[in-house]
Amino acid sequence: MIHEQEILLRLFASAIAGGIVGMEREAKNRPAGLRTHILVTLGSTLIMLISMYGFNGMGSSGEGGEPARLAAQVVSGIGFLGAGTILRNGNNINGLTTAASIWVCGGIGLAIGNGYYFGGIATTVIVLITLKSMGFIERKVFRNNYKSLVVNCRKRIGLIGDVGQIFGKNNISVRDIKVSTDIDEDEGLGDIYFTLKLPSKLITAKFFDEIMCVEGILSAGWEEDLVDA
């Protein structure tokens, strides 16, 4: 049996690792955020600790349980959480990255629970780099499929949701949303930036007509067109 201090160290280390990944997902307003990732990583660490040290010689071999059995259940059982983050809208499927991050957090938790700190921490760093940087690389490599839509609007509850329905109707995937901090508080005006992945066939004029019909929107256009103008 390991010391209680070592158990606490592994549990806290896994919570920190899961929290780092979860903060990135939370910042992008994904279905599973900070708390979900912490709980997944922490739970898998606890299960690994139980499988390694919790049976106290009660295994069939007389020397304790077999750690691989419970670890395998974590790897397969985590799928129900991942499935809950995946949404399908027409031909678009959203949430796969978040589902994958939940699954890999389960692996990180198992590694730390086993005392394999280097592998768990290294994986956390690589996951964070992947989530933070790969989106930028994707937009550069596949820039013809990505556009930044700038919407000038009056502040109104539900406006982003109404715009999102139009995106879904046109099979447009939202990759990022940023609200400008430069807001006219007196008039309640501001800009919203949507990073979008466009389908191969998009009727642009019809799309903008639908956008302009949303209550509160004053103007809308592609960011590069506005800059060139």
Residues 193-222 pLDDT 10s:
898 888 878 888 999 999 999 998 999 998
pLDDT (tens digit per residue) in 109-167: 989 988 889 988 999 998 888 887 766 666 565 555 678 899 998 888 888 889 988 99
pLDDT at residue 20 above 70?
Answer: yes
Mean pLDDT of 62-74: 65
Structure tokens of 95?
A: 């949430």
- Domain(s) labelled CATH 3.30.70.260 in the chain stretch across 143-228
Specify the fold of 143-228.
Alpha-Beta Plaits (3.30.70)
The residue with tokens 């040290």 is 53
229 CB burial (10 A radius; 0-12, 13-18, 19+): exposed
| Residue 223 reports pLDDT greater than 90 | no
The per-residue pLDDT for range 33-58, each reduced to its tens digit, is 788 888 888 888 888 888 887 766 55
pLDDT for position 131: 80
Q: How far is CA 29 from CA 47, 68, 165, in A?
A: 29, 35, 17
pTM: 0.55
**What pLDDT is recorded for position 143?**
56
Residue 227 in this model has a pLDDT that exceeds 60: no
